[in-house]
Amino acid sequence: MNGGPNCGKIFSVIKLNKQKFRYVELVKELSLTDFKLKYQGSFLGYLWSLAKPLMLFAILYIVFTKFLRIGGNIPHYALYLLTGVVFWMFFAETTATSVTSIVAKGDLIRKIYFPRIVLVVSGAATSMLTFLLNFLAVMFFVLVNGVPVGFRALLLPIILIEFLILVVGVGFFLSSLFVKYRDITHIWEIVLQGAFYGTPILYPLTMVPAPYNKLLLLSPVAQIIQDARYLLISTDSATAFKLLPLKFVWIPYTLPIIIFLLGYQIFNRSAAKFAEEV
Amino acid sequence: MAKKINTQIEKPEEESDIAVKVEGVSKVFKIPHERHTSLKSAALNLFNKREFEIFNALKDVSFEVNKGEFLGIIGKNGSGKSTLLKILAGIYVPDAGKITINGKLSPFLELGVGFNPALTGRENIFLGGTILGLTRKQVEEKYDDIVKFSELEEFIDMKLKNYSSGMHVRLAFALSINVHAEILLMDEVLSVGDSNFQQKCIDKFEEYKRDGKTVLLVTHDIGAVRQYCDRAILLRKGKVVCVDTAEKVADKYIYENFEDEEATGLNEDAGKIIPGKNAKIAITGVSFLDEKKAPRNVFQAGENITVRVSFENKANIDKANFALGLYASGGQYLFGVNTILDKIDSSEAIKKGFFDINFVKPVLNSGTYYIKASIAKNGFSQGSIYSYVDRSQDFRVMSRTNSEGLLSLEYHWGGSEPRLSR
């Protein structure tokens, strides 16, 4: 008879997982629908999502190699820049749209129960889909340029997962705060504007003088971009591992997890009241 | 730390006859007087005590629903019906109390939740179905049934924004009935769609009944509660007034509504007193009294009603003709008498300042009625009328029976026991 309650417990865990799985389906359906809707009716469809970073890249490339002549002496500067721009745009767009992810679906929240987290995750998943397609485009340019891709590129998925954790974590923060404080959307725009220049996207980190380059690398976004360049393009990329002293190197890598967990906490605490406040 | 909320939604392991158990559930909405939706105002008011309007949407609500039971939830607007349903669905979290749900619960209250107008009918079935908790595979299995039930085969690849509202509702209903749940929550679903569609709803309702599903139905339609619900609960200002058979609760609800209307005053134009040319006596009011001589405006069918006409005798007249007519609210003349024809001596009444007429067990059915009253010298020619009330305040009669019409008569269907239609 001792096995009885235990068996029940195991059974209920399985049932719970089945329940959770249902919500995975919901994330899938919502994000695919959003993806479809985003490009519905436009002639070029998804290509617009590729065109945006490519345009920005083209402008920056001309300005920085032809006018300012900064990137000229860096090998594969174009790819450097392209990687940075694609990664940055994913971060900026996903977090900016995540701000309103709860409020925009207020109608749904007031009428039906499902874990509210689904909305943030599915929003991030939609952007991730676009990002992965853009990333394939970057890969294509990498191969066309004849960059020797080493086995270290196999580590890229780890970086991408770290990136996703960071983006979703920030999304938790922003979306739950926005329900109460509608200033968040403007504040975040300004933060992004500053962060664009505080992240080594346009300029190589090697050009930044000593204490500042280390400081910049404490940001997980900078670390992710530098690591991606290292893994994909050139081992010259100044990564956190190379630049930061050992006692600080864990900071950018663990920050996404800390942000995710904290954001999750805050989100869950306020989620119960979303239906009333939204 | 946020305060711990002592609320849990439990799923009991053992089999039980109870589908839903609600114990002491309360819900408070804090409505800030001036909502701080920006950081600036929040910062400026950081040290001020924030003022809230406390709205007790639900206060210590407890009830149980048995498996296979249809429970109606009725009450006026703002009584907490929808809040209760939203708490059961998990949309709101209660501030106190415990909810036990035993069985698969439908998580939605309304039709067409999550539909997107920019998508086609087909795409919306998949999107809506997943939001209602189905997997894509389950939607695929039921897809044909859903389309067939909605009768939208030709339009299924059309975008939802091009649907008529009727088509929209049909699609939503077809989808929602294919989400299999043991306990269903419904908020005013019966009030949508055309009569053809409502018949479909009713058929589905009866099917649910046969299948032994548990339904919690929020509605204003007392007829639906009487017809489909086994029991009902009546909410008033967030509190449970009563939980009883649907019949009794429906009666109570109607009676309460009447009483509320009584308090607010029914008919502002009514009761206007028209002085005659010869206004030596002026009517000052018409009131309705029950057996205890307490003024009321609502009576049960068959209850004795006393009509009292008060007046002021300005010229110390010692004799007059009192006349009174009973009318239905539609203006039908039902009954009329006067003291001269009845050879009643009015000299006693004239000293008291009012006259009464008692209707003994009136045969009035459910409805609204009023009085015309006049005081005259003798006849009712223009010159002889002292004072005149064309339409008094309304009074209402409510009956518990199914009979229609103005009269509540004793009757029997050939051979059976005689019955009174009250």
Query: Using CA atoms, how far apart are residues B325 and B338, in angstroms rounded to an integer?
Result: 9
Instruction: Give the residue-averaged pLDDT of A223-232.
Output: 93
Report the pLDDT value the prediction gives residue B266, as an integer from 0 to 100.
46
SS3 B280: coil
pLDDT more than 70, % of chain B: 83
Report the pLDDT value the prediction gives residue B419, as an integer from 0 to 100.
65
Query: Using CA atoms, how far apart are residues A31 and B79, in angstroms rounded to an integer?
Result: 38
Among the partner residues A37, A181, A183, nearest to B118 by beta-carbon distance: A37
CATH superfamily of B273-398: abc- transporter (atp binding component) like domain (2.70.50.60)
Residue B111 has pLDDT above 50, yes or no: yes
What is the CA angle B412-B417-B421, rounded to 5? 50
Confidence bin at B340 (pLDDT 50/70/90): confident
pLDDT digits (tens, 9 = 90+) for B167-209: 888 898 889 888 878 898 888 766 666 677 777 777 887 888 8
Contact predicate A127/A120, CB 8 Å: no
Least confident piece of the model among B68-72, B88-92, B380-384? B380-384
Q: What residue ranges do the domains of chain B occupy?
A: 1-34+48-106+181-263, 273-398
Confidence bin at A100 (pLDDT 50/70/90): very high
Residue A13 has pLDDT above 60, yes or no: no
* Contacting residues for B271 by C-beta, under 8 A, at least 6 apart: B285, B286, B389, B391, B392, B393
Report the pLDDT value the prediction gives residue A12, as an integer from 0 to 100.
45
In 3D space, the residue among A50, A222, A68 whose CA is nearest the CA of residue A141 turns out to be A50
* Contacting residues for B314 by C-beta, under 8 A, at least 6 apart: B279, B280, B281, B282
Mean pLDDT of chain B: 82
Residue A5 has pLDDT above 60, yes or no: no
Residue B156 has pLDDT above 90, yes or no: yes
Query: Using CA atoms, how far apart are residues B44 and A163, in angstroms rounded to an integer?
Result: 37
Least confident piece of the model among A170-174, B18-22, B360-364, B395-399? B395-399
State both tokens at B360.
């003994």
Residues of B in contact with A277 (CB under 8 A): none
Residue B271 has pLDDT above 80, yes or no: no
Residues of A in contact with B39 (CB under 8 A): 181, 183, 187
Indicate yes or no: CB of B91 within 8 angstroms of CB of A111.
Answer: yes
Report the pLDDT value the prediction gives residue B384, as an integer from 0 to 100.
77
Report the pLDDT value the prediction gives residue A7, as an integer from 0 to 100.
43
Confidence bin at A52 (pLDDT 50/70/90): confident
| A258 against A110, higher pLDDT | A258
At how many degrees (to 10) do helices A47-61 and A77-98 cross?
130
Indicate yes or no: CB of B123 within 8 angstroms of CB of A33.
Answer: yes
In 3D space, the residue among A260, A272, A209, A265 whose CA is nearest the CA of residue A238 turns out to be A209
Residue B346 has pLDDT above 70, yes or no: yes
Residues of B in contact with A181 (CB under 8 A): 36-39, 42
Instruction: Give the residue-averaged pLDDT of A161-166.
Output: 95
Query: Using CA atoms, how far apart are residues B317 and B278, in angstroms rounded to an integer?
Result: 12
Indicate yes or no: CB of A181 within 8 angstroms of CB of B37.
Answer: yes
Residue A41 has pLDDT above 90, yes or no: no
Report the pLDDT value the prediction gives residue B4, as an integer from 0 to 100.
39
| B192 against B137, higher pLDDT | B137
User: CB-based contact (8 Å) between A9 and chain B?
Assistant: no
**What's phi and psi for A144, nearest 5 deg?**
-60, -35
β-pair partners for A241: none
Indicate yes or no: CB of B91 within 8 angstroms of CB of A25.
Answer: no
Specify the DSSP class assigned to residue A63.
I
> 10 Å Cβ neighbour count for B275?
14
What is the CA angle A109-A113-A117, rounded to 5? 70
Among the partner residues A22, A33, A275, nearest to B135 by beta-carbon distance: A22
In 3D space, the residue among A228, A177, A172, A174 whose CA is nearest the CA of residue A201 turns out to be A228
Residue B399 has pLDDT above 80, yes or no: no
Instruction: Give the residue-averaged pLDDT of B341-366.
Output: 87
Q: Which residues 25-54 of chain A have a CB within 8 Å of chain B?
A: 25-26, 28-30, 33, 36-37, 40
Indicate yes or no: CB of A112 within 8 angstroms of CB of B29.
Answer: no
Name the minimum distance, in Å, from the CA of A7 to any CA of chain B: 12
| B420 against B209, higher pLDDT | B209
Confidence bin at B161 (pLDDT 50/70/90): very high
CATH of domain B1-34+48-106+181-263: 3.40.50.300
Using the structure block, give the residue that is written with the tokens 């509202």: B165
pTM of the predicted model as reported, rounded to 2 decimal places: 0.73
Report the pLDDT value the prediction gives residue A158, as an integer from 0 to 100.
94
Indicate yes or no: CB of B132 within 8 angstroms of CB of A26.
Answer: no
pLDDT digits (tens, 9 = 90+) for B11-57: 555 567 899 999 999 999 887 766 566 777 667 666 565 667 788 89
Report the pLDDT value the prediction gives residue A258, as an integer from 0 to 100.
97
* AA identity, residue B46: L
Q: Write down the number of H helices and E strands in chain A.
A: 12, 0
Using the structure block, give the residue that is written with the tokens 């004849």: A146
Residue A8 has pLDDT above 50, yes or no: no
Indicate yes or no: CB of B37 within 8 angstroms of CB of A182.
Answer: yes
Mean pLDDT of chain A: 87
Indicate yes or no: CB of B113 within 8 angstroms of CB of A183.
Answer: no
What value of ipTM does the predicted structure carry? 0.82
Indicate yes or no: CB of A181 within 8 angstroms of CB of B38.
Answer: yes
Report the pLDDT value the prediction gives residue B335, as an integer from 0 to 100.
93
Name the minimum distance, in Å, from the CA of A19 to any CA of chain B: 9
Q: What does the CA dihedral B361, B362, B364, B366 come to, rounded to 10 degrees? A: -40
Report the pLDDT value the prediction gives residue B37, as an integer from 0 to 100.
64
